[in-house]
Structure 1
């Protein structure tokens, strides 16, 4: 038994020695690894350039499109509609014939007035002949002065009557023109509220149709009172502009300020402004709600993408890349405009700022700039 135990112990020693010999190279490798320095972490980021460029000072608001002129067509006669000469919603030009009214009664009155005028003109001609004859006879002593005076009075009376007849005839002719209702302005006409055969009169409350001027149009919106002084200065220098965009659409119209209301709303601190748009393609329709952007002036400033600006308890900051290292740079943001932040202090321009990957950065972090994705 003693010999057996010795043999087992000798076998174990041989096995342990062989295992130690097989793992001998790893002893030195682990020692070398422990002595090697830890490699610094590198963060992949996207960057953009801080730029100094002209930046518009603008105010966003919600506005309403209103026509410059809107005309409600009404009849000036009590008669019936005989013809409608337009399609509902059509574009009409100034002077286009829209409605024809029944004018037969006026035609008869005009004929009667013309006959009355002709009768009075004939009477005047007879009175003038009598006046000439009495004037000749008074020189021969064959008549009295009374006859001459009476005839002259009759001539003057008939002349006044003829003037009244001509005025009455002209009045009827003017009323005759009311039977042809024409477009007083160019624009879009509404649906006709009456059709052929309907009786119309001046006392009707509902118009026959309505024409809205489409080119140009007004856009009315409100701005804060703090912008009023700058806006007035810009209007004097003809430097202000306004852009109206239909929500959900890329179609827009550009114009200029036409009017600023003379009173600030004391309850809201807002003042109404009206811009005039050419609207040559009729992009803006009366009554449409639009997004407006009023540009008061343009100034040079340093701008960065708004996504580059980070916020902390001590204020706003950006990560600036210099020599492959990220540095924290405090900045003062004056305002934002169209996805850009206007930096008042902290940047001079031409710096590279991080716009993606900031969560993994801190002061002194090594960075690797990656190519920006297309369309980002």
Structure 2
């Protein structure tokens, strides 16, 4: 009986434990369901109170195009060239006696640069002078004989043959005297050639000969080269279209060919900012080059500081007639795509539009707009990388600053 009682007690305990476990699971499920319901209600309540609000339009700077008078320029590239560049040669034969300059010296016109051995030519001059004295004496004697024969012939004392001989002797003596004068001038010229002088102001290159070297034997010997640097030429080409435009402008303004030489020209090196070197037009070819369809033009510039050297590659511009009321915007705001160049403009509703434009010349950091915008258009000048056409903005109106005038040297 005792064993049976213990078994019933153990069964009741197991049943009670199972009931407790079932109750715990039910309570847990009820708690989870309540939490989910509460979360749903909370989320639902938040959605009703916090509806989505789009962000405000971005503040973007815009500006009206700058309107001002702009001088249109004819722009080209060219090369500098020396006004004069001459090879110095020995015009007489002899040994180099003296070199009176250092390689690279700046010299004035008439400066003696080389001296060729002078003694032989000095002696030749003295010989010619002696020959002139002898010829003068012969001329004097023959003239006296001629006059005597003329008197004797008039008195029928001398024959006509003797008079003819006296006349011929006189004429030969006069001719010999003239020849002696030519010999003197030639000897003086050769003596002068022994001093090789600078034909103009310039820079003399390194010498091609040495002291004691024989020069001028058989053919002229190159001694050195002298190059004039002040002033200096700038050669450049003008297209056929520009030539026609310029000719029309010249006709309209009533300019003459002499007036063309007063037109200023501005030049800048590739390493320089702007066009600091200024001169005037000097020459224009009478016809176009058929192969290139261009007209060769030349300017001349003062170059006292030798900033320009022959052979430099330079930028050239020639000012044309000023044009009033041109529209300019900062060059950096001009974009490009496959269809060409454009700017972004805010319309009356502050919505951005993409405007196709035709560009003119650059003026400082500004760019002339030939077509595409009006004077009252608000052009976007900031945030260009963050905005797109069709976007609404909050425009902030700014002013485009006038370009600074380029300094004149």
- Whether the 8 Å CA contact 1:51–1:304 is kept in 2: the answer is yes
The yes-or-no answer on 1:279 pairing with 2:303 is yes
The equivalent of 2:207 in structure 1 is 192
The CA distance in 2 between the partners of 1:167 and 1:329, in whole Å, is 87
CA deviation after TM superposition for structure 1 residue 148, in Å: 5.1
TM-superposition CA deviations, 1:120-172 (whole Å, max 9, x none)? 21222233344455566667x59425455543443333122111111111111
Describe the SS at the equivalent of 1:127. Answer: helix
CA deviation after TM superposition for structure 1 residue 180, in Å: 1.1
Among 134, 158, 174, the alignment partner of 1:144 is 158
- Whether the 8 Å CA contact 1:333–1:341 is kept in 2: the answer is no
TM-superposition CA deviations, 1:40-79 (whole Å, max 9, x none)? 2223x34454122233433444322111221111111011
TM-score normalized by the length of structure 1: 0.78
The CA distance in 1 between the partners of 2:132 and 2:338, in whole Å, is 97
Among 369, 379, 382, the alignment partner of 1:343 is 369
The equivalent of 2:57 in structure 1 is 41
CA gap 1:69/1:48 in 2 versus in 1, 3 angstroms: farther
- Whether the 8 Å CA contact 1:324–1:366 is kept in 2: the answer is no
The CA distance in 2 between the partners of 1:292 and 1:206, in whole Å, is 39
The equivalent of 1:220 in structure 2 is 235
Among 52, 64, 73, the alignment partner of 1:58 is 73
- Whether the 8 Å CA contact 2:90–2:221 is kept in 1: the answer is no
Among 366, 370, 375, the alignment partner of 2:393 is 366
Among 105, 109, 119, the alignment partner of 2:124 is 109
CA deviation after TM superposition for structure 1 residue 85, in Å: 1.2
Among 106, 124, 128, the alignment partner of 2:139 is 124
Describe the SS at the equivalent of 2:178. Answer: helix
The equivalent of 2:271 in structure 1 is 248
Describe the SS at the equivalent of 1:256. Answer: strand
Q: How many residues align?
A: 369
The equivalent of 2:406 in structure 1 is none
The CA distance in 2 between the partners of 1:90 and 1:57, in whole Å, is 42
TM-superposition CA deviations, 1:79-126 (whole Å, max 9, x none)? 111111111111111111111111211111111111121122122223
- Whether the 8 Å CA contact 1:75–1:202 is kept in 2: the answer is no
- Whether the 8 Å CA contact 2:327–2:370 is kept in 1: the answer is yes
CA gap 1:313/1:194 in 2 versus in 1, 3 angstroms: closer
Superposition CA RMSD, Å = 4.3
| Most deviating of 250-259 and 181-190 | 250-259
TM-superposition CA deviations, 1:224-276 (whole Å, max 9, x none)? 32212123455646485433322223474223332333444444434433222
The CA distance in 2 between the partners of 1:336 and 1:131, in whole Å, is 89
Task: Mark the runs of 5 or more structure 1 residues left unpaired by the alignment.
Answer: 18-25
CA gap 1:280/1:326 in 2 versus in 1, 3 angstroms: farther
The CA distance in 1 between the partners of 2:205 and 2:127, in whole Å, is 38
CA gap 1:79/1:308 in 2 versus in 1, 3 angstroms: same
The equivalent of 1:291 in structure 2 is 315
CA gap 1:41/1:203 in 2 versus in 1, 3 angstroms: farther
The equivalent of 1:258 in structure 2 is 282
- Whether the 8 Å CA contact 2:347–2:353 is kept in 1: the answer is no
The CA distance in 1 between the partners of 2:270 and 2:143, in whole Å, is 79
TM-superposition CA deviations, 1:281-334 (whole Å, max 9, x none)? 211101222233344444232121232234568775433458994543635314
Q: Whose Rg is larger?
A: 2
The CA distance in 2 between the partners of 1:248 and 1:346, in whole Å, is 34
Task: Mark the runs of 5 or more structure 2 residues left unpaired by the alignment.
Answer: 1-15, 35-42, 402-409
TM-score normalized by the length of structure 2: 0.73
- Whether the 8 Å CA contact 2:91–2:220 is kept in 1: the answer is no
Describe the SS at the equivalent of 2:266. Answer: strand
